[in-house]
Amino acid sequence: MNGPALRVKGRTALVTGSSRGLGRAIALALADEGADVAVNYVVNKTMAEDVTNAIIAKGRRTVVCQADVSDYDQVIAMRQAVEESLGPIDILVNNAGVISDKTFVKMDHAQWQRVLSVNLDGTFYCSKAFIEGMLAKGWGRIVNMTAFTGQAGNFGQANYAAATAGIMAFTKSLAKELASKGITVNAVAAGFAETDMVRTIPERVLKRLIDQIPMKRLGRPEEVARAVIYLVSSDGDYITGQQISVNGGLFV
């Protein structure tokens, strides 16, 4: 008896920032659905290799690539490494991101610039680097990871909110330009999920955050990953320029 059809079988994907957290869950979900997946990391090679080993165990091809997405030269080198191992990619998930929280009065230029450089510039650089392969194929899927912060704002996160809101505006603009080329561009806005980043939040603060979520719990990375799979599979073929919120009702 045949199992369920794999929704992205035969596709090749790159997930930036995929050594842990949401990126890891997305990379593994893509592999579960039949895709070969390139794993990107900046610092922790061991964690990235753990993800690639899990992908190989699922019977998929993979490659691990170190690159800081805020550096365009590193992004171009990553593209070369990915294409040498897996060929041109069909699916790009711009997930790499950082936070550097401070109230605006205390936030310095370096904190502002770092978050904008990685989150917003990185999304542009990776999209720019990999779009040519998608245009040549006449098919591609780009998913940009954003956050509810870009929709509602958040205390102490002026830099992060500005970056994520900018990513959504970029998503809409790029979607309009590429819709006739067989390429869709969408975004997934995650709320607070069970990731290492969220686990660094002090317990009393985290409890206060959870109290604000109508579902009264953190999201699971796998729940966010399923939204990405929906957008890059045939289920999402007629969806572009949109943002799916996965936040337990935190922002509606």
Among 102, 83, 105, which residue's Cα sits nearest to residue 92?
83
Q: Would you state the structure tokens that stand for residue 63, as one six-digit string?
A: 């490659």
Cβ atoms within 10 Å, residue 97:
25
Question: Alpha-carbon distance 94 to 82, whole Å?
Answer: 15
- Residue owning tokens 């390429």: 183
Phi, psi of 144 (to 5 degrees): -105, 125
Residue 14 makes CB contacts below 8 A (sequence gap 6+) with 37, 38, 40, 82, 89, 91, 92, 93, 126, 130
Beta strands in 104-182 (DSSP E): 140-147
Q: What angle do CA 70, 115, 158 make, to 5 degrees?
A: 155
Cβ atoms within 10 Å, residue 19:
25
> What is the Cα gyration radius of the chain?
17
Question: Alpha-carbon distance 172 to 230, whole Å?
Answer: 18
Q: Which of 72, 160, 230, 238 is catalytic?
A: 160
Is 160 a known active-site residue?
Answer: yes
Which amino acids are annotated catalytic? 160
